[in-house]
Chain A
């Protein structure tokens, strides 16, 4: 059976629970710090898959209640869109 630690919790960047726990252990105690080191929450899913799990791990490590853990920043656009669509309102290039 797969160990809990080996579970990939961020599919965009293939980060395991073990990696998250190890960086929290090194003293990185905020979602925004882990995001800057591991890119969790920076991928196409914007943290939809991993954020809650990581916040729970942070709550466990710091002994703070879950609702006191800063969930970090979520940036637009919320869904990835093609550059051509941003520029020309359609996907192909106009030149």
Chain B
């Protein structure tokens, strides 16, 4: 983005960040704001990884307390974030709601459990009957639906401009952001991080933050840190824009299909597919198009005449319990924030704040012990029941 050229630069910083998705960019912003000197390396453009490929749904519907608390904070930040980050880019934030639809008693019971946890934390979620859904969204086909969980404050943001706006604001605060500049590997000596290698040159920093999404695994391994983070490819399609009618993000728990309208009037469709290759590479599945349109048109038949414009895919960075890893690693000075397992875009605001608090040795604003790296060794997993 900045057109900075890594060759002519002073190759030291207080903190080096590897990976310019939403988490890296937000961390750069929060660190620079507190006066740390920051260098961020991104192998493509900011948001070229999972962040820009996401459906960018923002929600407070989670089934673990720590995620609910962080999600609540995210939703407190989003309404003013565009201005807070300088106002140059349009973040297209909307609050058209997020609907989780149950087709079995079992998933309805789980949704009710999640909603009562959310309510106990002052998140304005509610349970709905099919009748109530039909009344609010007459265009939905509620056949076979048993009920739903809904939060009207949830919504959508443009994941590209969100990430770029964090990067831009960080630069204005003095952070150096190098796009199209991959880090070759991390550097450590005697159990301490010393920096990173970029285009054959060493850059030194006493602290390095790894926010490379699914690419974090290989980078961490370059200094002997093992991250149980694997890749899964997920697909999306976007339609031509039609008159906006504020269709909320609607997620169908029978086959994992979801759809929503975005502010320019286009629809996004996505759908889980266990047969998708477990790969970090993006690519296109022809099969996705037929499967997802069949499934979504059943729930919202009125869209049959709308045209699909294109499809894309991106990698989830998945952990065994579908929860992020936010922790210092056994290599002193190296900390990670990755493994968001398909719901990490919306955690950009809290992820950056936590990275800053960890860097300065402050008490984190939410207790994040659950996200520690050693939980996998200890067998102390904490499954997130609300994942897609």
Contact = CB atoms under 8 A, between A and B. Distances in A.
A76 B160 CA distance: 20
A75 interface: yes
Contact of B311 (A27, A30, A46, A75): A75
A26 B172 CA distance: 12
B47 interface: yes
A84 B164 CA distance: 35
Interface string B42-68: 001111100010000000000000000
A29 interface: yes
A73 to B, nearest CB: 8
Contacts of A77: 289, 308, 310-311
Contacts of B238: 42
Interface string A70-90: 000001110011111011100
Interface string B131-168: 00000000001000000000000000000110010000
Main secondary structure of the interface of A (DSSP, over half): loop
A18 interface: no
A68 to B, nearest CB: 13
Contact of A80 (B290, B294, B308): B308
B329 interface: no
A32 B309 contact: no
Contacts of A88: 294, 297
Return the 10 tightest CB-CB contacts between A and B, nearest first.
Answer: A84-B304, A36-B160, A87-B293, A80-B307, A75-B310, A86-B293, A93-B304, A87-B294, A93-B301, A83-B293
Interface string B268-312: 000000000000000010000110011011100101111111111
A83 B312 CA distance: 16
B21 to A, nearest CB: 13
Interface string A42-56: 111010000000000
B240 interface: yes
Nearest to B303: A83
Contacts of A27: 1-3
Given A28-B1, A75-B312, A83 B45 contact: no
Interface in A8-34: 26-30, 32-33
Contacts of A33: 1, 45-46, 164
Contacts of B117: none
Contacts of B180: 30
A81 B52 contact: no
A54 to B, nearest CB: 15
Query: For chain A, which range describes its interface: under 10, 10 to 19, 20 to 34, or 35 or more residues?
Result: 20 to 34
B199 to A, nearest CB: 18
21 contacts: A27-B2, A27-B3, A29-B3, A37-B160, A42-B310, A44-B307, A46-B309, A76-B310, A77-B308, A77-B310, A77-B311, A82-B304, A82-B308, A83-B305, A86-B290, A86-B293, A87-B293, A87-B304, A88-B294, A91-B305, A93-B297
B164 A83 contact: no
Contacts of B52: 36
Interface residues of B, number: 40
A76 B304 contact: no
Given A75-B284, A76-B284, A93-B301, A87 B290 contact: yes
Contacts of B303: 83
A3 B173 CA distance: 36
A46 B357 CA distance: 43
Contacts of A37: 89, 160-161, 164
B354 to A, nearest CB: 26
A43 B309 contact: yes
A95 interface: yes
A41 B312 CA distance: 14
A29 B191 CA distance: 39
Contacts of A30: 45, 179-180
A33 B168 CA distance: 13
A52 to B, nearest CB: 19
Nearest to A70: B180
Given A30-B45, A86-B289, A44 B309 contact: yes
A84 B284 contact: no
Contacts of B307: 44, 80-83
A7 B48 CA distance: 29
A29 B306 CA distance: 34
B306 to A, nearest CB: 6
B127 interface: no
Given A26-B88, A36-B52, A77-B311, 5 more contacts: A36-B47, A80-B309, A83-B306, A87-B293, A93-B304
